[in-house]
Structure 1
Amino acid sequence: MIDVLVVDDSLVMRKLIISTLEAHASIRVVGTAEDGHQALQALDRCKPDLVILDVEMPVMDGLTALDEIRRRDRRLPVLMFSSLTQRGAQTTIEALTRGASDYVGKPTQMNDLNQALQVLQQELIPKVLALGECAQAAKVKALPSTPTLRGVRPGSQATHTTRLAGSASLEAVCIGVSTGGPVALVSLIEAWTTPLSIPVFVVQHMPPRFTQLLADRLSGLGCMPVHEPYDDQLVQPGHIYLAPGGWHMTLERKTHGVHVRVVDLPPQSSCKPSVDLLFNSAAKVYGQQLLGVVMTGMGHDGLQGSQSIVDAGGEVWVQDQYTSVVWGMPGAVAQAGLAHAVLPLQDIASSIVRRVQV
């Protein structure tokens, strides 16, 4: 049973969320709060596996409450509940980069409660189940004394400081990430103190508008500019290209260099943008000089693309289970035997720098 604390200043919205959650046999609402201050008081009393946290509330807003929750517990899943307006999107990006696990947009048609319930059932339940199950697993799992690194492909001898035998110098890094991704990307970008000598391409599962806001936020945190690219943009070293929400990002080599293609194709594995499509195209462009990194996220997007990178002679790394919010995407790659290395989040940025310098 996944125990949930619901925090929202609207009585109607709290009842709607509770009705949605308690209709599922594996979810139990153990407490409610009307503002961030009440939520903090309820944490010790209710001991939830997950918190659903509204953004705009009186007394103490969601961002302030989130910061305090993170000071108390770095791993408790916090699912932000916010409007999808421009203002709501900006606040959501702020929350995600400050440690929120994921978000759910509030139903826009509150005059139709049946439709609002349907939206919540489709959007809220899968995320609560995934985050809650991961939180419960983390509670019972014995924590490692030190982060571990392991090669899971037969014969691979990946380490923090040496490349795999026979591997080529890198020309590009491609990163795929979803649930928990914004804070993971913040960790990477803040750790890079000098620009990389190669380009970085990122697919973060996120809707339109949100990706541009995320790119702007990330650009202000590190030493490399982060772009939401336009179609046929020429790739430059030392730049990060974040796939626009609602579109796919692929790569194409032309006479004067590699170009980003922003294409409107059907979703792949229910994802748009798709990690698989980026990895597939990058493997064709860069071959053995490509590093693919699959980080925290639900589902298995990136699995097929990782196979393409390995088939082309490139390398694939994944984030480890302990530091992932959800070990779906990286776990699928590791369990398929495609990962050359499994790394904790705090080691990925420095390992990329060392790998680029080889």
Structure 2
Amino acid sequence: MPVRVLIVDDSGFFRRRLTEMLNADPRLEVVGAVADGAQAVEQVAKLRPDVVTMDIEMPVMDGITATRRIMTVTPTPILMFSSLTTDGAKATLDALDAGAVDYLPKKFEDISRDQDEAKRQLCERVYAIGSNKRAVHPQRPLSTTAAPTRPAVAVAAAARPVPSAMPAARRGQYRLVAIGTSTGGPVALQQVLTKLPGNFPLPLVLIQHMPGSFTPAFAQRLNQLCAIEVREAKDGDELKPGLALLAPGGKQMVLDQRAGRTTVRITESEPGQNYKPSVDVTFTSVARIFPGQALAVVLTGMGADGREGARLMKQGGSTVWAQDEASCVVYGMPAAIVEAGLADAVLPLSEIGTAISQRV
């Protein structure tokens, strides 16, 4: 059966265009298209779509309010359409706070200048979110630091190593924690980082697939929620205990070591680097600077970014963890780690932050 989609947007032109693009993919079926958030709440309850695409600014009821209502009454995966502006970033983070699982630029040329590629990425994203019946988790909203509730999905205890089953790390074994993620990552990162104490003894580097206009606001929001310090990385920033540096969107972040100081370098992407920032790029530099002394964690996300960087880290003796399928919005990046045989542990999102704290 195709993934059933409800479109919510006050622009008739956009509704028609999006309907045409999604219906052209045999895996997708648009079952309704409405013009405001109030209608969205009603139609979600009536049609029970697999996924909703939601605009933010609409008359009668805005997309953030509608998302909050839907997640309360009829929880459904929601993909927001956002403008790539500072205000758009704040509104998008508010939408994730309300329960949306992901976002895309409303201007398709911001996805890709190639129209066919933009259409492909749009359909892939909608399909990935709508086909995952576990994409809606009870551990909302983004801004709460309360302990998350496990998804209502049975997971056999033997299907994954739990923290207590993992070999104990040697004291001083790790000098850095590197975390990579994509779709579903903003909420997942918050769930992990808010479990870390203010006196966390290691530096962290964070790689989240996100536009450059979003990462400053995202880092600021995480910093307000976490006991550790979180900020967007700047070229030349030094790694420090209890400091998490978030790779800036649209750039690449690599580690550099000179005169006993380890810093980050922020660089432009090279041809062929599809992800900006890329988990592989950062992990590869971690493997070079901290061989056998880093903990890599790969969280929810589409694709396989992070697999090759994690492979280099693992070959150097470092540890690699992956988020389990049951707690992922999209089980792509962690699946690539597991299928490549690189995962030393496969953990539910609710346990990763605690496990990090216990093993460093």
Deviation at 1:122, TM superposition (A): 4.2
Shift in alpha-carbon separation, 1:318–1:116, aligned structure 2, 3 A? closer
Are 1:105 and 2:115 matched, yes or no?
no
Are 1:271 and 2:275 matched, yes or no?
yes
Unmatched runs of 5 consecutive residues or more in structure 1: 110-114, 152-157
Matched-pair contact (CA < 8 Å) for 1:231–1:260 = yes
Residue number among 292, 298, 308 corresponding to 1:288 in the alignment = 292
Could you say what secondary structure the match of 2:10 adopts? coil
Per-residue deviation, residues 110-129 of structure 1 (Å, max 9, x unmatched): xxxxx997585144212112
Are 1:192 and 2:190 matched, yes or no?
no
Deviation at 1:285, TM superposition (A): 1.5
Matched-pair contact (CA < 8 Å) for 2:175–2:294 = yes
Bigger shift: 204-213 or 188-197? 188-197
Shift in alpha-carbon separation, 1:189–1:159, aligned structure 2, 3 A? closer
Deviation at 1:221, TM superposition (A): 0.9
The percentage of aligned residue pairs carrying the same residue is 40
Residue number among 172, 179, 188 corresponding to 1:175 in the alignment = 179
The separation in 2 between residues aligned to 1:176 and 1:78, in whole angstroms, is 22
Specify the code of the residue in structure 1 equivalent to 2:28. I
Deviation at 1:149, TM superposition (A): 6.5
Corresponding residue of 2:92: 92
The separation in 2 between residues aligned to 1:247 and 1:256, in whole angstroms, is 25
The separation in 1 between residues aligned to 2:344 and 2:106, in whole angstroms, is 40
The separation in 2 between residues aligned to 1:124 and 1:217, in whole angstroms, is 27
Corresponding residue of 2:71: 70
Corresponding residue of 2:140: none
The separation in 2 between residues aligned to 1:320 and 1:336, in whole angstroms, is 15
The separation in 2 between residues aligned to 1:147 and 1:222, in whole angstroms, is 30
Corresponding residue of 2:255: 251
CA RMSD of aligned residues (A): 2.6
The separation in 2 between residues aligned to 1:147 and 1:67, in whole angstroms, is 33
Corresponding residue of 1:80: 80
Specify the code of the residue in structure 2 equivalent to 1:68. R
Could you say what secondary structure the match of 1:227 adopts? strand
Matched-pair contact (CA < 8 Å) for 1:297–1:326 = yes
Could you say what secondary structure the match of 1:260 adopts? strand
Shift in alpha-carbon separation, 1:226–1:267, aligned structure 2, 3 A? farther
Q: 1:2-41 maps to which residues of 2 (within 5 A)?
A: 2-41=3-42
The separation in 2 between residues aligned to 1:210 and 1:39, in whole angstroms, is 26
The separation in 2 between residues aligned to 1:267 and 1:326, in whole angstroms, is 27
Specify the code of the residue in structure 2 equivalent to 1:18. T
Could you say what secondary structure the match of 2:164 adopts? coil
The separation in 2 between residues aligned to 1:267 and 1:126, in whole angstroms, is 23
Deviation at 1:15, TM superposition (A): 1.1
Matched-pair contact (CA < 8 Å) for 2:8–2:33 = yes
Shift in alpha-carbon separation, 1:135–1:120, aligned structure 2, 3 A? farther
Could you say what secondary structure the match of 1:265 adopts? coil
Deviation at 1:231, TM superposition (A): 1.3
Deviation at 1:148, TM superposition (A): 6.5
Could you say what secondary structure the match of 1:331 adopts? helix
Matched-pair contact (CA < 8 Å) for 1:298–1:326 = yes
Count of aligned residue pairs for this structure pair? 342
Specify the code of the residue in structure 2 equivalent to 1:251. L
Shift in alpha-carbon separation, 1:137–1:131, aligned structure 2, 3 A? closer
Could you say what secondary structure the match of 1:273 adopts? coil
The separation in 2 between residues aligned to 1:161 and 1:105, in whole angstroms, is 42
Corresponding residue of 1:124: 122
The separation in 1 between residues aligned to 2:105 and 2:169, in whole angstroms, is 47
Could you say what secondary structure the match of 1:322 adopts? helix
Matched-pair contact (CA < 8 Å) for 1:296–1:319 = yes
The separation in 1 between residues aligned to 2:134 and 2:271, in whole angstroms, is 31
The separation in 1 between residues aligned to 2:335 and 2:15, in whole angstroms, is 34
The separation in 2 between residues aligned to 1:250 and 1:148, in whole angstroms, is 37
Per-residue deviation, residues 293-341 of structure 1 (Å, max 9, x unmatched): 0000000001001111111111000000011000100001001111011
Specify the code of the residue in structure 2 equivalent to 1:78. I
Shift in alpha-carbon separation, 1:210–1:70, aligned structure 2, 3 A? same
Could you say what secondary structure the match of 1:300 adopts? coil
Matched-pair contact (CA < 8 Å) for 2:168–2:359 = no
Matched-pair contact (CA < 8 Å) for 1:274–1:301 = yes
Per-residue deviation, residues 225-260 of structure 1 (Å, max 9, x unmatched): 212111122111100100011111111222132111
Task: Give the 4+ runs in structure 1 shifted more than 4 A.
Answer: 115-120, 145-149, 164-168
Deviation at 1:83, TM superposition (A): 2.0
Corresponding residue of 1:154: none
Bigger shift: 65-74 or 324-333? 65-74
Could you say what secondary structure the match of 1:249 adopts? strand
Corresponding residue of 2:142: none
The separation in 2 between residues aligned to 1:147 and 1:269, in whole angstroms, is 38
Shift in alpha-carbon separation, 1:119–1:213, aligned structure 2, 3 A? farther
Bigger shift: 127-136 or 175-184? 127-136
